[in-house]
Amino acid sequence: MVGFPHFDLQRWLRITLRTLHIITFGILLGGVWFHLPATALLHPAIASALTGGLLALSHAGSTPLWFVELRGAITLSKVLLLLAALLWPRLRLPLLLLVTVAASISSHMPGRYRYYSIWHRRRTH
């Protein structure tokens, strides 16, 4: 068989996007930690938003249930926290750290929680 089956290709795309997202968000968080000017953080912020958005779309495109499962709800919460960080620059560092904690917890929690639907009040997968 030539090439990767669809699932494998999708999985590798997500791994690549997640890796790039972690790198770019790490650069952004480090820049905020070390008080770099906003202009120096523009490219990492755009790259982080782009990779995170594409990653979320790849999951949401697989199943619309993603939006009501804890994994999607936490991702949407992280977006709201990031928007708050833009609106309140003095809270930027604690908000970015909170996003990092939420990301770490949500990406490592067991499937019974990740796939738990807030809407259906049960695991969906």
- List the structure tokens of 19: 């890796």
Q: What's the pLDDT band for 1 if we cut at 50, 70, 90?
A: very low
Give the span between the Cα atoms of 83 and 64, in whole angstroms.
23
Residue 1: inside a domain, yes or no? no
Q: Is 123 helix (H, G, I), strand (E, B) or coil?
A: strand
Sorted by sequence, the CB contacts under 8 Å of residue 43 that are 6+ apart come out as: none
Residue 80: inside a domain, yes or no? yes
Across 45-62, average pLDDT:
95
Residue 77: inside a domain, yes or no? yes
Boundaries of domain holding 41: 6-123
| Whether the Cβ atoms of residue 73 and residue 109 lie closer than 8 Å to each other | no
Q: What is the pTM of this model?
A: 0.88
Q: Is 116 helix (H, G, I), strand (E, B) or coil?
A: strand
| The total number of structural domains that make up the chain | 1
Sorted by sequence, the CB contacts under 8 Å of residue 116 that are 6+ apart come out as: 69, 70, 122, 123, 124
User: In this structure, which amino acid lies at residue 39?
Assistant: T
pLDDT tens digits for range 103-121: 999 999 999 999 999 999 9
Residue 83: inside a domain, yes or no? yes
pLDDT tens digits for range 70-97: 999 999 999 999 999 999 999 999 999 9
Residue 40: inside a domain, yes or no? yes
